[in-house]
């Protein structure tokens, strides 16, 4: 559809705010910052880790990687944060420490944001995640967890 040069693509991305001009810090620093923040959040979580993993529908091995700040991927982190009962601003803060953001430009994430802002008070723990997954499925969007 469009035929842009690499320079034009980067210029357009900068104008739209899609790409930052700031130099990206190394991933080890990001992972460490997230790891420390996530461990702090876990200290306020009152249930067992095995229950958290089961409710978030993630393997405990994946949880250990996330807690250590290794192999960070957005969906399992988001599922954990939702099950932990965090509000939107806390989730956004934790995701930003991992180098992610819930974007209103991504259909799936628009639904997640809306559900967290408007429907999360109706549900707790894994029921929040299930409500979000059911809504995503009804809209023919990929679920956060299987």
The predicted-structure confidence for 111-134, as pLDDT tens digits, reads as follows: 999 999 988 778 888 899 999 999
Indicate the range of 12-21, 51-60, 73-82 predicted with least confidence: 12-21
Q: Could you tell me the pTM of the whole model? A: 0.75
Do 100 and 114 touch, CB atoms closer than 8 A? no
User: How do the domains of the chain map onto residue ranges?
Assistant: 25-138
Spatial distance between the Cα atoms of 62 and 65, rounded to a whole number of angstroms:
5
Do 133 and 146 touch, CB atoms closer than 8 A? no
Spatial distance between the Cα atoms of 40 and 33, rounded to a whole number of angstroms:
11
Spatial distance between the Cα atoms of 29 and 82, rounded to a whole number of angstroms:
24
The predicted-structure confidence for 9-53, as pLDDT tens digits, reads as follows: 666 666 666 654 444 445 555 566 788 888 888 888 777 889 999
């Amino acid at each position: 559809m469009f035929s842009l040069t690499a320079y034009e693509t980067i210029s357009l991305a900068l104008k739209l705010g899609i790409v930052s001009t700031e130099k990206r810090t190394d991933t080890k620093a990001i992972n460490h910052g997230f790891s420390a923040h996530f461990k702090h959040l876990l200290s306020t979580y009152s249930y067992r880790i095995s229950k958290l993993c089961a409710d978030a529908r993630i393997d405990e091995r994946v949880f250990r990687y996330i807690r250590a700040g290794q192999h960070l991927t957005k969906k399992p982190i988001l599922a954990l944060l939702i099950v932990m009962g965090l509000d939107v601003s806390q989730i956004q803060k934790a995701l930003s420490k991992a180098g992610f953001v819930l974007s209103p430009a991504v259909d799936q994430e628009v639904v997640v944001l809306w559900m967290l802002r408007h429907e999360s008070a109706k549900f707790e723990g894994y029921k929040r995640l299930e409500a979000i997954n059911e809504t995503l499925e009804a809209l023919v969007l990929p679920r956060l967890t299987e």
